[in-house]
Amino acid sequence: MLKILATDGIDKSAVKELEALGHEVHEQFYEPEELKEALKNYDVVVVRSATKIREPIIDAAAEGGKLKMIIRAGVGVDNIDVKYAEGKGIKVRNTPNSSSASVAELVLAHMLALSRFVGISNVTMRNGEWNKKKYKGIELAGKTLGLVGFGRISRELAQKASALGMKIAYTNRSGAKDEYPEFTFMELDELLKNSDFVSIHTPAMKDGKALMDSEKISLMKDGSYLINCARGGVVDEAALLDAIKSGKLAGAGIDVFQEEPTKNKELLDHPNVSVTPHIGGSTNEAQMRIGEEVVEVIKSL
């Protein structure tokens, strides 16, 4: 029997299946200092984005000698010091196949909201304004969507956006130009200059700097849109806001922030910005798939 701690919640069906396998599952969020002590009593910890597993917590868990595995219930593992944990003999796994569709759909939701003024219309109409003439939008069909990074989520998005009639350009770290002949490979700078919408799909930079800083944003096509449903910090929020205020960019869709919960009120309140509170994987279907993957990972332990 394994003792399993789910610090940020887990789908009920996964809990039932794990318990049916004879394991003990506890769902409880702990602050960092409390988590150090708690992990000494568990074989497995399952986290989402809210819980950070950093070196001091790993040291405490390793000292306890019980923790065998950290599972990120989601795709990115930026909130876990992976190499450090593995160096201490603690395995780290994620659920890479579970939330691709839900994140891709959220990107599309932001693109549609921005292109047709859906978000700001919800605000102004409730304030008694009828801005029919002001909100002349654009259609997604025929526009170029530039995908920075071309992993599972990005490829899912490419298929969905193609179905809406969008042209797809992509860039990736491997530089593999012929792997996806149905789409157009471009180097990053070329992609930024030629895309009507740019969607980021990369992990956080190793040096902690923003991939999309003021220099990269300045390369983007005038009047284009930037979407970030990937990682907070990948986009320089100050540079992004400056570009929107100056009219360089028409707007932005943001699900992830440099600090969460974000205190960047000026960015949140800008009428040309569509925002959501880090909900890329927050669908019933994605959480069920995540739970299923977590169960399979634990079975392999």
Q: Tell me if residue 179 is catalytic.
A: no
Residues 10/13/17/18 CA torsion (nearest 10 deg): 10
H, E, C per residue of the chain: CCEEEECCCCCHHHHHHHHHCCCEEEECCCCHHHHHHHHHHCCEEEECCCCCECHHHHHHHHHHCCCCEEEECCCCCCCECHHHHHHCCCEEEECCCCCHHHHHHHHHHHHHHHHCCHHHHHHHHHCCCCCCCCCCCCCCCCCEEEEECCCHHHHHHHHHHHHCCCEEEEECCCCCCCCCCCCEECCHHHHHHHCCEEEECCCCCCCCCCCECHHHHHHCCCCEEEEECCCCCCECHHHHHHHHHHCCEEEEEECCCCCCCCCCHHHHHCCCEEECCCCCCCCHHHHHHHHHHHHHHHHCC
The one catalytic residue in 34, 37, 215, 260 is 260
The one catalytic residue in 72, 201, 231, 289 is 231
Q: Tell me if residue 231 is catalytic.
A: yes
Q: 28-48 b/e with 16+ CB inside 10 Å = b? A: eebeeeebbebbeebbbbbbb
Q: Tell me if residue 129 is catalytic.
A: no
The one catalytic residue in 201, 278, 289, 293 is 278
Residues classed as catalytic: 231, 260, 278
